[in-house]
Amino acid sequence: MYKRTYPPALPRYENTLWLLFQDGKLLVRDEAGEISLPRNLPVSHISADPIHLAESADSSCLTDELGEQLPVPEGFQLLSLRDLYGLLSDADYELAGYASEIVYWRRTSKFCPVCGHATLQKSKDWGRECPQCGHVGYPRVSPAVLILVHDGDRILLSHKPGWGTRFSILAGFVEPGESLEDCVRREVEEEVGVELGELTYFGSQPWPYPHQLMVGFMATYVSGEISVDEDELDDAAWFTPSTMPDLPAAVSLSRKMIDAWLLARD
């Protein structure tokens, strides 16, 4: 099990687990179809400035971005985090998601958003400080709510352009000055025009695409006819366990919520 480390901690072990990204995809070892995170890579693939991310009892974990033109070594391939779901252990998959957010933060925080001066890494956390104006920034986390609206043995699912045949539960980003619960009610009213009753927290999931935190709620339907906001959706409808459409991938919290609702109907 890896424990997170923070600057200015330095790697303590020669045995190194590498999380290396190129164009948003992770470099993984592929041995006869067996996918794993690489260890102790060739020197040509190691940056002079990797990020020390975590440690286990005998290994350091480092992450970095590969140069765009750097070839993939033999026996390796580049896969997206979505494609890697189920191919890595839960612990390794969580570590990969964390790494992707940290390398994204480093790449997008090199300059102060206030005055444009180059920023410096703070110690003991991932914050970056501007020596010119004193502004301090931290890795961005964008909270979004997922809302499973249910009414007895039916569930309200929506569809967006480009989703093919897939339907999912409602979702939306939390606005400044808004509670999670207020966001749930606002998003449902705006997108499908129905009124909600009781809200029940289901769970949360980091969603590193690139820096979201999904927070799921079960919501009971009270009243109203579906009225689709065509700026957000192109369809929304009620479904029953026997009429379910194509659903989101198993990696997503939205699918876990739908599966939990279906299980409760059995």
Domains of the chain with bracketed CATH? 3-108 (3.90.79.10), 110-139 (no CATH), 142-265 (3.90.79.10)
Closest CA to 61 of 5, 113, 130: 5
Whether the CB-CB separation of 66 and 21 falls below 8 Å is answered with: yes
Query: The pTM is what?
Result: 0.91
**How far is CA 265 from each of CA 22, 103, 116, 218, 260, rounded to the nearest angstrom?**
43, 42, 55, 14, 9
Q: For the chain, which residues score pLDDT lower than 50?
A: none
Task: Give the pLDDT score at 44.
Answer: 62
Q: Residue 244 CB: number of other CB atoms within 10 A?
A: 13
Residue written as tokens 């970095």? Answer: 64
Task: Give the pLDDT score at 73.
Answer: 82
Q: Residue 87 CB: number of other CB atoms within 10 A?
A: 15
Task: Give the pLDDT score at 128.
Answer: 97
**How far is CA 203 from each of CA 209, 253, 260, rounded to the nearest angstrom?**
18, 8, 11
SS3 of 99, please? helix
- Order of all β-strands in the sheet with 136-137: 120-121, 128-129, 136-137
Task: Give the pLDDT score at 43.
Answer: 57
Question: Roughly how many angstroms between the first and final C-alpha of the chain, as a whole number?
Answer: 36
User: What CA–CA distance (Å, rounded) separates 62 from 142?
Assistant: 25
User: What CA–CA distance (Å, rounded) separates 248 from 64?
Assistant: 30
Task: Give the pLDDT score at 266.
Answer: 81
Closest CA to 195 of 206, 210, 204, 184: 184
User: What CA–CA distance (Å, rounded) separates 202 from 219?
Assistant: 10
CA atoms within 13 A on the CB side of 36: 9
Whether the CB-CB separation of 3 and 54 falls below 8 Å is answered with: yes
Task: Give the pLDDT score at 48.
Answer: 72
Task: Give the pLDDT score at 14.
Answer: 87
User: What CA–CA distance (Å, rounded) separates 114 from 30?
Assistant: 44
Closest CA to 240 of 156, 171, 174: 156
